[in-house]
Structure 1
């Protein structure tokens, strides 16, 4: 079995149930299957590789400690995603994440996890990978967090139900949020494209007066 694939729903429920009862081998197996998914969610939601490792570690500690409270093993994956998102929100509230410089984009998520290329290929964005990754840094925190899940839904690593459960919203509200997030991402991609165009635009350069060269939602709005 691939280290990046989950067991079937029935098999996962068996492993979760055993882990809940304190079976160390089951806990280890569960963690090994959780880790790539958690790395990808956190890696896309945050911008600094050092922060990714910290948040992933905190998430896995919360998962292991919270296992006894998982009453419905078949819903474990949705619970896992919700725990991960809670850790991301906590981290974001505690410390504003400073965007990494463009040359570090390949180090944002753990190199052992291969969802990044797979997801962007399935979205037919492989040739624009750098632009998309850079664009995520211009998003509002909430939209960037949602994008980290939406990419995995599009690639088939999470279900629509997982997304709805993790956000704790009605399905139609999730649809509205995804639509707004995608519109903001499109705008951010245009901003990235404009800022990296050569020759540059004199009007855009005037607008950028006072900009500290770090991606930020307020500057996305000004440039857009």
Structure 2
């Protein structure tokens, strides 16, 4: 169990913060910061807006903490707010792209977050197998990217399965099904990664890739 993931305020501190104790509120925010950064950083895949989304999350924590009915549920509540802010960021980003460019132009706009897997591979010197997994995650849709970020945190002990379920508004059983499907998609994508990196490549695949580049 990661000590960082569990270094969150106890119930007594949350209660004091809800009642207007400014020092307690400062301590609650400080203790929450590492987990929020972990969730947002993974979900946004290293995008430059991570700090902004973390700040928006903590602003909402401060604003709505007095309305939290069950202080013992603070962790789950915090995770849910962070995920909601990530979704809002994704929505704003899609709207901005659609507003500033036509559909044809959008296809040529580099995604600032798309190279996160590449940076991870470069900086960490991953093994071939881990490199495949990192590259395969690029093929996941936004909902599964979000699920992947939470599942990684669960696997490292930062959050629990129930907290993942609460953040997504699903039952633990439904989360288990989605994780299973996500893993299958990653495995399929790893096959695509291997095919794209194969030397010599498949002639049909190379023809398809060349055609795709011709349409760009």
What is the TM-score when the length of structure 1 is the normalising length? Answer: 0.74
Greater Cα offset, 17-26 or 75-84: 17-26
5+ long unaligned stretches in structure 1: 108-116, 118-124, 213-224
Report the 3-state secondary structure (helix = DSSP H, G, I; strand = E; otherwise coil) of the residue aligned with 2:58: helix
Equivalent in the alignment of 2:114: 100
| Residue 29 (structure 2) aligns with | 31
Unaligned runs of 5+ in 2: 98-110
After TM superposition, the structure 1 = structure 2 runs for residues 104-115 of structure 1, keeping only pairs within 5 Å, are 104-105=119-120
How many residue pairs get aligned? The number is 194
| Root mean square deviation of aligned Cα | 2.9
Please give the alpha-carbon distance, in whole angstroms, between the structure 2 residues aligned to 1:7 and 1:37: 9
Greater helix percent: which structure? 2
Q: Is the 8 A contact 2:121 2:131 kept in 1?
A: no
Is the Cα–Cα contact under 8 Å of residues 4 and 33 in structure 1 kept in the other structure? Answer: no
Deviation of the 1:67 alpha carbon: 1.0
Q: What pairs with 1:69-80 in structure 2 (closer than 5 Å)?
A: 69-80=67-78
Alpha-carbon distance, 1:207 to partner: 2.4
Instruction: Report the CA distance between 1:53 and its aligned residue.
Output: 2.1
Q: TM-score, normalised by structure 2?
A: 0.77
Which residue, out of 15, 19, 31, partners 2:13? 15
Q: 1:39 to 1:106 in 2, by over 3 A?
A: farther
Q: How far apart are the structure 2 equivalents of 1:126 and 1:30? A: 39
2:104 corresponds in structure 1 to none
Shift of 1:22: 2.4
- Matched with 2:4 is 4
Point out the structure with max Rg over C-alpha. 2
Displacement after TM superposition at 1:58 (Å): 1.3
**Aligned residue number for residue 194 of structure 1:** 195
Alignment of 1:1-224 (within 5 A): 4-7=4-7, 12-96=10-94, 98=111, 99-101=113-115, 103-105=118-120, 128-211=129-212
C-alpha distance after superposition, 1:2-45 (max 9, x if no partner): 9824247xx61112112212222222222222222112212222
8 Å Cα contact 1:48/1:100 also seen in 2: no
